[in-house]
Amino acid sequence: MLNNIKEPHHIDKIIQRVFKDFEQPLKIEGIDLYVKLSIGIAIYPDDSNELDKLIKYADTAMYQVKHTGKNNYGYFNKKHYEIVKPKYYLRKKCYVVLKKINLNCFIKPK
């Protein structure tokens, strides 16, 4: 979470620096690991003033980024959310039911 952002374009600058930091591989025990990022952004109070909704909206934006190609970032889009909301609701209900019967579920959006 970013706090005290005065102007929305400052978010873009910060995110671009984060991506720049991850351009070089992380070296762990002699192995180069390349990290790809998918970042979703929701803005308080424009998108919501409730923390739970902001997290859900940022998550929605992140999945939209993953759907269009990884290693990018995107902002929450209310019109897009209204289209995909039924899919997320169904996914959530599926996880709840499967957890009750002790199964794991992995859903990969197309």
19 in a structural domain? yes
107 in a structural domain? no
Of 65 and 85, which is predicted with more confidence? Answer: 65
CA distance 59 to 88: 11
Asked if 58 and 41 touch (Cβ cutoff 8 Å), the reply is: yes
pLDDT for residue 110: 59
pLDDT for residue 94: 80
Q: Which domain holds residue 33?
A: 8-100
Our count of domains for the chain comes to 1
60 in a structural domain? yes
pLDDT range class, residue 16, cuts 50, 70, 90? very high
pLDDT for residue 93: 81
Asked if 65 and 74 touch (Cβ cutoff 8 Å), the reply is: yes
pTM (2 d.p.): 0.72
52 pLDDT more than 70? yes
Q: What mean pLDDT value characterizes the chain?
A: 87
